[in-house]
Amino acid sequence: MIKVRDGDIAKAAVLFERYSGRLYNFFVRLTFDESLSEDLTQNVFERIIRYKHSFNENHQFKSWIFQIARNVRMDFYKKNKVKVAGEVDVSNVMMMSNSVSEKMEKDDDLKNLEKAMSHLNSDQREILVLTRFQKLKYAQVAEMMNTSEGAVKVKVHRAIKELRNVFFKIDKL
């Protein structure tokens, strides 16, 4: 990223290659919309180039790029006057599960996890996606969210507890 910041824009292709899949997965787990997730991923890389001068090498790149991703998602919802969904339409989750299962077979637990994730509120989904699926450290998430590491731990704990409750009730939903 330092080379991109210093003017070697061609190096952004390397960043795209390394991070586009992670960003896409981040968005798809939050929106349950594959097409929107592709668009949002592209928007992140547009912003990386536009705001390359704001990258601080004293901070981790992964935290910086996911902060941009969070901003891109929120800006999309604000611009399109769409409320960030607390619960996602389960039909979208099933559509995603069906299309993904054609590509690779998933077991029932993974499908139920996707369903359970769709019943969490947006903040809970986001914190779990960042810490569990994207494997960001609590300190990185705390920096992104401008909060303490302890607050992130509490949010993760509460989100996991809620996910567990929903997951074990999923057959009844």
Q: Which SS3 state, helix, strand or coil, does residue 53 take?
A: helix
How far does the chain reach from its first CA to its final CA, in angstroms?
Answer: 45
pTM: 0.69
Q: 83: pLDDT confidence band, cut at 50, 70 and 90? A: low
Among the listed residues 146, 149, 95, 155, the one whose alpha carbon sits nearest the alpha carbon of residue 122: 155
* Gap between the Cα atoms of 57 and 155, Å rounded: 28
Which pLDDT score, from 0 to 100, does residue 109 have? Answer: 74
Which pLDDT score, from 0 to 100, does residue 136 have? Answer: 92
* Gap between the Cα atoms of 150 and 79, Å rounded: 32
CATH of domain 86-173: 1.10.10.10
Q: Which fold has domain 1-84?
A: Rna Polymerase Sigma Factor; Chain: A (1.10.1740)
Structural domain boundaries in the chain: 1-84, 86-173
Among the listed residues 76, 77, 71, the one whose alpha carbon sits nearest the alpha carbon of residue 145: 71
